[in-house]
């Protein structure tokens, strides 16, 4: 009977080991994206701005992170006018934070499209990081911005003439960019 218990215990340890390995692989730090650091998304609207506004504009950001760059796609529609600038700020939900990097309209990036609906896409490298130094993100330090994004303390927004403080905003969260807006 003791031999039978030892065999069962050994089988149980083996099965639990396989289960643990499967869980570790499924929840790996790169989210199954090769050498990447993950995928992030944001759904942008006027109600998320600080202060909130009644814009009918909407947006969806898809962001992927590697050790050397961020690749982004920002689709937007229904803005009150063409965007002046679009960028990432460091700040938690419902708090205005400093600008870190631009998608368009500043920071060495091309001008924003001259339409109320469209797409902005490209890459961001360490050279694009402007800070905010007062919030602990040093000039040119992509790793510090990535830390803020991973912690949920970064948001994307777009500014227009009608809403110079920001027309639409969305907190950046982990995900594959398939969120609803």
* Same domain assignment for residues 12 and 64: no
* Same domain assignment for residues 64 and 86: yes
The CATH number of residue 99's host domain is 2.60.40
- Write down the pLDDT at residue 175: 87
User: By residue range, what is the domain housing residue 141?
Assistant: 38-174
The torsion region of residue 93 among left (phi > 0), alpha (psi -120 to 50) and beta comes to beta
The three-class DSSP label of residue 62 is: strand
pLDDT in tens, 69-84: 999 999 999 999 999 9
* Same domain assignment for residues 82 and 141: yes
Is the confidence at residue 64, as pLDDT, over 90? Answer: yes
Q: What is the mean pLDDT of residues 158-170?
A: 98
* Cis ω for the linkage preceding 162 (within 30 of 0): no
Burial class (CB in 10 A: 0-12, 13-18, 19+), 95: exposed
| Claim: this prediction has a pTM higher than 0.85 | no
Gap between the terminal Cα atoms of the chain? 62
Is the confidence at residue 129, as pLDDT, over 80? Answer: yes
* Same domain assignment for residues 75 and 103: yes
């Amino acid at each position: 009977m003791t031999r039978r218990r030892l065999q069962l215990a050994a089988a149980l340890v083996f099965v639990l080991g396989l289960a643990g390995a499967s869980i570790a692989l499924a929840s790996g730090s790169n989210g199954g994206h090769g050498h990447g650091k993950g995928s992030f998304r944001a759904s942008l609207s006027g109600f998320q701005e600080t202060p909130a506004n009644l814009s009918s504009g909407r947006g969806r950001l898809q962001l992927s992170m590697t050790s050397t760059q961020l690749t982004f796609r920002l689709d937007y529609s229904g803005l009150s006018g063409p965007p002046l600038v679009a960028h990432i700020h460091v700040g938690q939900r419902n708090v205005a934070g400093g600008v870190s990097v631009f998608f368009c309209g500043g920071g060495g990036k091309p001008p924003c499209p001259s339409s109320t609906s469209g797409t902005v896409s490209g890459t961001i490298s360490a050279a694009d990081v402007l800070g905010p130094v007062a919030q602990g993100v040093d000039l040119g330090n992509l790793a510090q911005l990535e830390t803020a994004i991973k912690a949920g303390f970064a948001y994307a927004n777009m500014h227009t003439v009608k809403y110079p403080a920001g027309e639409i905003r969305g907190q950046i969260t982990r995900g594959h960019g398939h969120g609803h807006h």
